[in-house]
Amino acid sequence: QVQLVESGGGLVQAGGSLRLSCAASGRTFSRYAMGWFRQAPGKEREFVATIMLSGGNTHYADSVKGRFTISRDNANNMVYLQMNSLKPEDTAVYYCAAGRFSTYPSLYDDWGQGTQVTVSS
């Protein structure tokens, strides 16, 4: 397992940008695919983006494709989510997760505590 800590959330205007960071502990970070998920109040946890072990492949939810970019730095045990052109609908708690290259939360084993992203119109 890995321990994950998200940071970088905040309040932004629609159209703005944020970069979320996820710091992982442990030397096995590179063995996991990483994902970003989000959960809005009253909603189920929603897939945002995932990245393969080496960072060679990524997949995005249609709702964020073209606006968000997931990346990882295995040497520094970091994964990032660059969020551009933010919309109010992006408002949620964003979670970093380690597991399989998947859109399904159930296929991720370890989760961070989440970081709040609020986008105002």
What would the pLDDT profile of 39-51 be if each residue is shown by its tens digit?
999 999 999 999 9
Bridge-based pairing state of the strands 10-13 and 115-120? parallel
Is residue 27's pLDDT more than 80? Answer: no
Question: Cβ distance 87 to 21 under 8 Å?
Answer: no
Mean pLDDT rounded to a whole number for the chain? 95
> How far is CA 38 from its chain centroid?
8
Residue 3 binned pLDDT confidence (cut-offs 50, 70, 90): very high
pLDDT of residue 102: 95
pLDDT of residue 30: 81
pLDDT of residue 1: 78
pLDDT of residue 110: 94
Is residue 28's pLDDT more than 80? Answer: no
The pLDDT tens digits for 65-93 are 999 999 999 889 999 999 999 999 999 99
